[in-house]
């Protein structure tokens, strides 16, 4: 009894001390956050329109080399663009970029990658470095025989243990080596629920066909990347797991209602948002029973603004899936898709097929009043906030 009372007192004192510390932390955090916000606003005010627009573009290296022309992904591997060249520097002088994403064909070995990233860091726009390093079949570094890093069969295989901590360990390992190589962002984890066995694009890239299980592993994976100092990205919103078609090549849709999506596809995304996800990648899938039209989610204000921002409360960075994928290019022109995406609420345009053309289109849209500059400022604010982290 005496011991019990003593323990109770210690717990009370501990709780009181924690509360006082929390109050002090809140006060400190409040003043710090206020100062950071003012600093961000000052930075944005000093930026030119072109600098702001450039911040919203994350591009393939090939997008800055205007001598390279391509229609299919397979054509890019032949170029093996693995260093910054004079054409890229000339283009980048007038077209700053917020980020660069490297693919397997841009990476040879450790020495080449280190030099390439050093050159990219010096580009106009001080770009962030991003990569798709999920683990499994989508791993640009781990699947390169010139790199001695751990390899994973798939996310589904990791989840077979039933222990979400295994996802944390894998993500921390992946995050640690890509951080060491110089990357800032990993476009992972796949947060889709693999409910359709005929799905040819997601499959074992997802953790599970059960939404609650997927949610637990997604959060653990996200935390693992964060612990390694890498920004993770929940993808592909609003869920690619129940879709048959591959958006790399053409139109795809889900016939689910929002109520149905909330019970399944949204579970991992909501868990990730609650866990502090800083980035979410869109899917180019149409959701006609939610939006009332055939617009890909990437271009839909209903999906991005009404659902993701307003209903789910996500206030981080929204990045498109690659805009040079067939689901976009076969339905919309390069400039039309870019403008629609920004109007829908996207912060980052990833991999436009013609970067220079898309960039110029956004600048003209702002100058003509088709897009308010304040709308651009909102996205730039979110991206700069991410850069500071």
| Per-residue pLDDT tens digits for 320-339 | 999 999 889 999 999 999 99
Among the options 248, 306, 360, 377, which is catalytic?
248
328 in Cβ contact with 337 (< 8 Å): yes
pTM to 2 decimal places? 0.90
Among the options 184, 186, 242, 321, which is catalytic?
321
Q: Which residues pair with 281 in a beta bridge?
A: 235, 319
| Per-residue pLDDT tens digits for 10-68 | 333 333 333 333 444 444 566 666 788 888 888 999 999 999 999 999 999 999 999 99
Above 80 in pLDDT, residue 126?
yes
Q: What is the model's pLDDT at position 247? A: 59
Segment among 5-14, 108-117, 331-340, 355-364 with least mean pLDDT:
5-14
Question: How many percent of the chain have pLDDT more than 90?
Answer: 79
Dist CA 303 CA 298 (whole Å): 8
Let me know if 284 is a catalytic residue: no
Collapsing DSSP to helix, strand or coil, 325 comes out as coil
Above 60 in pLDDT, residue 228?
yes
Q: Calculate ∠ Cα 57-63-66, nearest 5°.
A: 135
| Per-residue pLDDT tens digits for 230-260 | 999 999 999 976 776 555 655 688 999 999 9
Let me know if 321 is a catalytic residue: yes
Which secondary-structure segment (H or E) carries 89?
helix 86-94
Q: What tokens appear for 110 in the block? A: 């450790």
Question: How many percent of the chain have pLDDT more than 70?
Answer: 88
362 in Cβ contact with 293 (< 8 Å): no
Mean pLDDT rounded to a whole number for the chain: 90
Q: What is the model's pLDDT at position 22? A: 42
Q: What tokens appear for 88 in the block? A: 């890229």
| 35, 39, 45, 50 alpha-carbon torsion, rounded to 10° | -140
Q: What is the model's pLDDT at position 291? A: 97
Above 80 in pLDDT, residue 117?
yes
| Per-residue pLDDT tens digits for 296-320 | 999 999 999 999 999 999 999 999 9
Which secondary-structure segment (H or E) carries 98?
none
């Amino acid at each position: 009894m005496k011991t019990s009372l003593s323990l109770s007192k210690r717990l009370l004192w501990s709780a009181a001390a924690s509360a006082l510390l929390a109050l002090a932390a809140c006060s400190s955090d409040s003043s710090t956050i206020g100062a950071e916000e003012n600093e961000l606003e000052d930075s944005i005010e000093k930026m030119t329109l072109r600098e702001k627009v450039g911040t919203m573009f994350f591009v393939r290296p090939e997008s800055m080399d205007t001598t390279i022309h391509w229609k299919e992904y397979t054509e890019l591997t032949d170029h093996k663009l693995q260093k910054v060249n004079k054409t890229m520097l000339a283009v980048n002088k007038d077209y700053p970029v917020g980020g660069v994403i490297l693919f397997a064909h841009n990476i040879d070995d450790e020495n080449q990658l280190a030099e390439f990233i050093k050159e990219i860091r010096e580009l106009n726009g001080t770009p962030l470095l991003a990569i798709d390093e999920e683990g499994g079949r989508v791993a640009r570094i781990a699947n390169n025989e010139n790199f001695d890093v751990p390899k994973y069969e798939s996310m589904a295989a990791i989840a077979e243990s039933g222990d979400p901590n295994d996802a944390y360990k894998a993500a921390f390992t992946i995050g640690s080596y890509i951080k060491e190589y110089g990357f800032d962002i990993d476009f992972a984890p796949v947060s889709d629920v693999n409910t359709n066995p005929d799905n040819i694009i997601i499959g074992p890239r997802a953790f599970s066909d059960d939404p609650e299980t997927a949610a637990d592993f997604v959060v653990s994976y996200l935390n693992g990347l964060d612990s390694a100092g890498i920004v993770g990205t929940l993808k592909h919103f609003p869920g690619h797991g129940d879709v048959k078609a591959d958006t790399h090549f053409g139109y795809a849709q889900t016939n689910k209602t929002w109520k149905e999506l909330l019970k399944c596809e949204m579970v991992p995304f909501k868990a990730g948002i609650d866990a502090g996800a800083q980035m979410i990648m869109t899917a180019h899938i149409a959701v006609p029973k939610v939006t009332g039209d055939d617009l890909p989610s990437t271009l839909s204000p209903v999906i991005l603004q009404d659902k993701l921002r307003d209903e789910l409360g996500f206030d981080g960075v929204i990045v498109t899936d690659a805009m040079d994928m067939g689901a976009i290019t076969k339905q919309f022109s390069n400039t039309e898709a870019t403008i629609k995406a920004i109007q829908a609420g996207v912060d980052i345009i990833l991999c436009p097929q013609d970067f220079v053309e898309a960039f110029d289109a956004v600048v003209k849209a702002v100058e003509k009043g088709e897009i308010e500059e304040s709308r651009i400022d909102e996205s730039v604010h979110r991206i700069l906030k991410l850069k500071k982290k």
